[in-house]
Every structure is written in C-alpha cells, then in structure tokens.
Amino acid sequence: MVEDGPIPAVHGVVRWRLVDLVQWIWEEFRIVVSETTMGRVVNEMGYRKLSARPRHHAQNPDAMDAFKKTSPPPWRRSRTAKRPARR
C-alpha cells in the first residue's frame, strides 16, 4: 500500500502521512498502531520523511525578486594597451 501510494478518490489524500496510514490500518484490519510505530516500520522499509520548505504566510513574490542575488559578470581579460615597444 505504501509503494502504490493512495488513490485520492478512494483514500481522500494525495500522499500518505503517518496518521493516514494508521487510519487505513485501523479501517482495513481493525488493528491499533501508534504513529511512532508506523514511523519506525516505514523507516525500516527505506522511506524517509519529506517536509515542505517553510514559507512565511505574508511573503511577497515581487519583493523576493528585488532581493535575489545575481551572478557576477563573466570574467574577461582586459584589453592590452597599445604601448610603444621598449628598447
């Protein structure tokens, strides 16, 4: 079930959370499992917890563009000065 992922129309979620898996196990098998235990089992299966990068609720996309760092201009060799040859 973890490998296949949830079916949104059937399970009501688009990705599994531990609480969703615990609920599914209860509904399917009538077995009570804690979220901690479910986390250990899923971890042993090789899965890792993914979390979204936090974002401030009042973040302004236009202000972010104004403060973005730009790359420095590409390095160029300076032009050689036309000097008379030394004798």
* Predicted pLDDT at 83: 66
Ordered DSSP codes for 47-65: -----PPP--TT--HHHHH
Write down the pLDDT at residue 31.
95
Delimit the domains of the chain by residue range.
1-50
How do the pLDDT tens digits run along the chain, 87 residues long?
888 888 889 888 888 899 999 999 999 999 999 999 999 999 999 988 877 777 776 777 787 777 777 777 677 666 666 666 666
Q: Which two tokens stand for residue 52?
A: 């979204």
Say how far residue 71 (Cα) sits from the centre of its chain: 24
> Angle of helix 18-29 relative to helix 35-44, nearest 10 degrees?
100
Residues contacting residue 21 through CB under 8 Å, at least 6 positions apart: 1, 2, 38, 42
Instruction: Copy the structure tokens of residue 58.
Output: 């009042």
